[in-house]
Amino acid sequence: MMSRKPAAKAALEPSGATLFFNRELSLLEFNRRVLEQAKDDSVPLLERLRFLCIAASNLDEFFEIRVAGLKQQLAYGATQRGPDNLSPGEQLQRISERVHDLVDDQYRVLNDTLIPALEAEHIRFIRRADWAKRHADWIKRYFARELVPVLSPIALDPAHPFPRVLNKSLNFIVTLEGKDAFGRNSGMAIVGAPRSLPRVVALPESVSQGPNDFVFLSSIIHQHVSDLFPGMKATGCYQFRVTRNSDLFVDEEEIDDLKRALEGELSARRFGDEVRLELADHCPEEVEEFLVRQFELEEDDVYRCNGPVNLTRLMAIPDLIDRPDLKYPGFASGIPARVRRNDDIFDVIRRGDLLLHHPFESFAPVIDFLRQAARDPNVLAIRQTLYRTGADSAIVKALVDASRRGKEVMVVIELRARFDEEANIELAETLHEAGAHVVYGVVGHKTHSKMMLVVRREGRMLRRYVHLGTGNYHARTARLYTDYGLFTCDAAIGDDVQKMFQQLTAMGRVARLKKLIQAPFNLHKHMVDLVNAEAERARAGGQGRIIAKMNSLVEPELIQALYSASQAGVVIDLIVRGVCCLRPGVEGVSENITVRSIIGRFLEHTRIFYFENGDEEELLYLSSADWMDRNFFRRVETCFPIEDRRLRQRIIQESLQGYLTDNAQAWLLQADGTYRRVSAGNARRRSAQETLLKSLAERA
């Protein structure tokens, strides 16, 4: 493992606002790193377009949840400050400045880089000024056939008040001249584009120069908007889009049925308070002022867009284009040899713990495990947590099959998985109808742990088979996110998982677990204790060492413990994909801490915690939890040790050492809060994700 010299002893205390980055601004820094992928010539062109769309989608959720929450705090007069000592108002001001720059950069990337590069590959977005007669004629027929029947123009007058537009829907505000059949003209109208309409329309080969010529829906509506107001003239047509507060509120002390309460809140999400207005950059100021008044927003809440106001909807384009040379190479997730050679997954697990590293290794063994359990007459019971599973889930189908075959099936579904609430309610109904027992976890705590327990009769004994993971039971995201899953029939772990399910489905005091560490009860204390133990060894003259990989690092007490460990001389490497509130490289405090972020083809999602542990055997844990307040104190989370030395060394090599030496997709956090991309220079290029694809997966 790597080592560095201990830091000089310093009197500076490891606390104070200057030592904590703001969570929201750190999240925007992550989004900037995602956007940088859209500029990277080494990324295939259509994948660069995807990264642009991902950055736009991330901003949507940022406003729907994070900005909306800050605006609520401001409206309620909240004065509480976080570890960074920024008030809600100060945060909103800084967010506005950063996001305006970020949005401008997004459209520069689209207009100045991606569109010209796509055109060079004969993928064209034909603007109205460039329409030939054949284009215009076909588009006019398309407008009359496909758009007119579903568009609902609303003139604004006393009988037609300003409509309450849906969250993130595409709309147009139209300025008009002339009078209609009733002699009316308020001068303005709203045209909403139904979500069923594609935002990018492919031109048929009969009128195009090739198979990949497109026009934007907004261009079609702009061209023919006057046709929606017969006898009148549209003097202007401007896209706009409103983002609303989408955080669901459920008073958990007052409800008696969480499912019914959430169902009532879901419909309200579409019409929450307005938090952002996106607007065409050529919209006149008086029209902007009119919209700002309608939505009760401020000037800082308006974002001018030099192009389609909803970049997220461009995500469909790569799927419309058959150009494998402009996409990431296909691959087939690998199947471990032990699994390939033995059709009996229970026998495989009995012979030793089985570790899967997704997406490099297939998620199929997880599904097969559940399918075998459903069909096996010796299986008596199945327990599972579900957080996000997908609309057409093979996992859910296997659970339904198991229940119909008479197994005792108990499923803990987290209804409050953000933006998956409706899908999870439907899953709950499906499982209920199949006869499974379905519960919704613990009111006040999201069930975020990833656990599966199968109880099987083998001779005169009952054996428990367990699957624990860092990611969701979702076959699609298992192709996109990096995650670990562990199969084991270790008796102590099986007993711990059973106790955790009992906590979730019944009532009683906290059970004493033998090997698992559990939030909200002891995970935070355990992690702090492990960090402090490394610090004590370093103070005693030993070599402390910590490596932690996670999505987010926010929790102040743990950050302070890491600062103290750094001051003691512990060498600390943090691999944090997204938000990081810890400030590395501060003299006398965090000189021994490095923070890097890996942004690549796959979304980094594994949570891995390594402690050198002095002369004893090193400690390594996998977890469903990030180092955040919500994970430690407001969620049910699982953290589990990897005790098999071979598997432990494999994880260290694949996901710690491999990522610490990445010089292709790594970014280093600087003391000022910015990130610097790691350069290979004259050294050999090393990408952790690409290395794992080569070693674990199979090229398609």
Q: Annotated active-site positions, please?
A: 448
* DSSP sequence for 144-208: IIIITTT---EE-BTTBPPP-PPTT--EEEEEEES--TTS---SEEEEE--TTS-SEEEPPTTTS
Q: Kindly state the helix (H) or strand (E) to which residue 641 belongs, with its residue range.
A: strand 635-641
Residue from 156, 182, 25 nearest 94 by CA: 25
Sign of CA dihedral 285, 288, 294, 299: negative
Residue from 514, 522, 405 nearest 466 by CA: 514
Q: List, edge to edge, every strand of the sheet that includes 200-202.
A: 124-125, 213-216, 200-202
Show the tokens assigned to 201. 């329309």
Classify residue 418 as left (phi > 0), alpha (psi -120 to 50) or beta.
Answer: beta
Q: Which residue has the tokens 């409800």?
A: 255
Please report the beta strands in 538-615, taking only residues with DSSP state E, as ranges in sequence order: 545-550, 571-576, 593-598, 603-604, 608-611
Helix, strand, or coil (residue 231): coil
Show the tokens assigned to 414. 């987290």
Which residues, other chains included, contact 460 with Cβ-Cβ below 8 Å and sequence gap of 6+? none
Q: How far is CA 77 from CA 70, 72, 80, 90, in A?
A: 11, 9, 9, 13
How many Å apart are CA 214 and CA 542, to the nearest integer?
64
Phi, then psi, of 680 in degrees rounded to 5: -70, -25
Residue from 428, 393, 394 nearest 414 by CA: 428
